[in-house]
Structure 1
C-alpha cells in the first residue's frame, strides 16, 4: 500500500489532534514492525553479537540475504579475506542486493550498512542494537521501499562486514567497482534517534554538501531535526568529541575513491561499544520516522 504521510498529517491536524509525535499508526504498522523485527533478530543471542568470522556473523549474513531475496532482489555473497593477526587472515562476507535496471548506463547509488559488531568478550555480550543493527534495519526498509518503484539510477544495497576491524568490507567492495560508475554512497550507521534531542546528522563531502544540504535540512519537521555538515570540527563541538567523521564509517572507503557520500547517523551515543547497546533504548516510532524521511530524500534523488 502506498502511503502519503503528509496527507496523514493534514488529516490529524484538521482534527486538532495535538501530540509531540504525529503518526498514522495503521499506515506505518507494517514498516514499523519490520524495523523492530529486524533489530530484534539481529541483536538476539543466536547471533552472538555478530563478530566477523564467527557463526554469529554467518547467521546475520544469511538472515540479511534471506530478507533481501524475499523483496525480489538478486543477492550475491561477496567473500573476501583481510589480515586479522600478524600471521593469519580472517574470512568475511558482504551481502549485495541489486535488481536489473533498464538504464544500463545510469550511475549507481550504493547504500551501505555494516552488520558486524563486537561479539562476546568473556561473559559480556555486545548486542549492537544501534551499532549497527539499526543501520541494517534501515537498509532493509529502504530496499523494501524502492523494490517496486521506478528510478533513474541503479540501486545497490550492501550489508558490509568487518567494519569494526578497519572498514575492510567497504574497502573490498569499492575495490571491485568502477568509481566512475557510482553517483553516490549513502551510508547508514547508528540511526537510533536520541529522544531528548531528536536529530539525525548527515555528514557529507564538500561536493555533496553544496548539492544536498538544503534538501536534507528541509526534511526536518516537528518530530525530528536533520542537520547537514561537511565539518568534523562542527560535529565535534556539538558532542565534545575528537572524531574524524570522514573516517568514522564505511563512507570513508568511497571518499578515498573520490565518490560523493552522505553518512546518516545519530552522532554520539553513550551506549556505543557497550553491552548496554540494546533494543530497549530504541524509540521505534521515532526511528521509523527518521528512516521514512531518508526514504523521502532518496525518492527526490531518483525521480
Structure 2
C-alpha cells in the first residue's frame, strides 16, 4: 500500500475510527466514525429498570444500578441533546445532590448548557484552606450514540461504566475530603458530531470554565471501565499519562485478582501516523498543558455496538477500579506541591514491558486464552514484535527516541490487528 493510502487507512482505524460496528482496539476508546446503515436487532429491554440509584447504600449494588439506569431504555442511548440524554443528566444531578456535592455549573446549578445538551459539574470542597482553591478534575462523559436505524446503542461500557465509577469515587471523597478540591465533570457531547470540535463538552468547558482555568491542576479521565479486550482475557486497567506530571503520582499499582493495573504512556495509543490525537475528554486538558491521566480497560468486542449492554460488564473489575481511581485522585489532591506539567515525556522501558505483556496474552503464551486476531498471517509479525518489545524492556536502560518510535509502532500494529477485518484488513495493519 502506498504511504498516502496507509496514512488514510490508519486514520480510518484509530483517528476517525469506528463509531458503530467498531472493532476491538487497545485502550484508545473514543475515536469516531459514522454508523452503518444496517444494524443488528435491539437487545432485550431491562424488565425492571431503576429510576434512581441515590438510595443504594452498597457500593457494588450502586455501580450496577447506575449502569442499568444510564444504559437502560429510559435513556435511549443518551445522544446529546436528546430526551434520553436529558433523562440521564437529571439522574446524575439527583445522585450528586443526594451524595452531598456542591453545584459547580453555571448560574447556581449543576449544569453548564452546551449548544446541544449540557455538562454536569459538581464539587467536593478541599479540606485545606490553602489548597482548596485548586481543583483536580475527575471526568467521565455520559453521552453515547443514541438510536440509529431504529436500534438503540445503550453504551453500558461507553461510558455508563466510567460515570458509575466516578460517582462512586465522588461519594467516597465527600465522606473524607482531600486537601485540594475535586471537580466532578460528567461531560456531554463527547461522541460525534461534536467529537474534536469546539462543541465537545470538555472542549466547551475549557473554553468557558466554571472554575478559573488556572485553578485546574490535573485531570483524571475515565472511559470504558467494564469490559475485556477479548473474551477470556482479563484486561488490565491501563493508567495512562503519568509522564505528563513533573512529579509522577505514585499510588501503589499492585495487582488485584479482580483487576490487574498497568501504567502506560499515552503515546502508545495516541501517536498516530498522521499526528497525535487524544481519544477522550482528557485531550482538552492535555492540549492546555494540564497534567492528565486517562484510565481505561480498552475497547471490548461490544464497543459502539447495540450489544454494549449492562449484562456484558465485569462489575468486580469496576468495583476494584473505584479504589484505583480514588487512590490516584487522592494522591494528586493531597500532594504538598501543586501538580505540574512535565515538558519532557519520554517513553520508558516499562512501556515496552506492558506492551509485551499484551502481545504475549494475545498470542496465547503461558496458557493464556489468546485472540483470534493475533493468528494467521499476523502471528509471525507479532511474535517478532514480542521479541523486540521484550528486548527493549530489558537491559536496564531507557529507550532512545528511535527505539521509542519502535515501541509506538508495535503498539499501533497490535491495536490495528485487534480491529475487525472489515474495518482494517490485516495486510494494512502489518504495514504500520
TM-score of the alignment, normalized to the shorter chain, above 0.5: yes
Distance 1:38 1:160 in 2: 16
Aligned to 1:258: 289
Distance 1:74 1:182 in 2: 17
Q: CA deviation at 1:35?
A: 0.3
Q: Which residue among 301, 315, 322 is the counterpart of 1:270?
A: 301
Q: Which residue among 212, 220, 228 is the counterpart of 2:263?
A: 228
For residues 31-180 of structure 1, the aligned pairs below 5 Å read 31-75=59-103, 76-81=110-115, 91-101=116-126, 103=128, 105-106=130-131, 107-164=134-191, 165-167=194-196, 168-177=200-209, 178-180=212-214
Q: CA deviation at 1:105?
A: 4.8
Q: CA deviation at 1:219?
A: 3.7
Paired positions, count: 261
* Structure with greater helix share of residues: 1
TM-score normalized with structure 1 length: 0.79
Q: Which runs of 5+ in 1 are unaligned?
A: 1-27, 82-90
> 1:216-272, CA deviations, whole angstroms, 9 ceiling, x for partnerless residues?
5x2423332211122433x489xxx98988510000000111111101001222211
The alignment's C-alpha RMSD in Å is: 2.5
Aligned to 1:196: 233
- Give the structure with higher Rg (CA): 2
> 1:152-191, CA deviations, whole angstroms, 9 ceiling, x for partnerless residues?
1111101100000315100111123333211210101101
Distance 2:242 2:235 in 1: 23
Q: CA deviation at 1:278?
A: 0.8
**Alpha-carbon spacing, 1:209–1:273, altered in 2? closer, same or farther (3 Å):** farther
* Structure with greater strand share of residues: 1
Distance 1:57 1:80 in 2: 12
Distance 2:195 2:124 in 1: 29
Aligned to 1:282: 313
Aligned to 1:18: none
SS in 1 for 2:217: strand
Q: Which residue among 217, 220, 237 is the counterpart of 1:186?
A: 220
Aligned to 1:293: 324
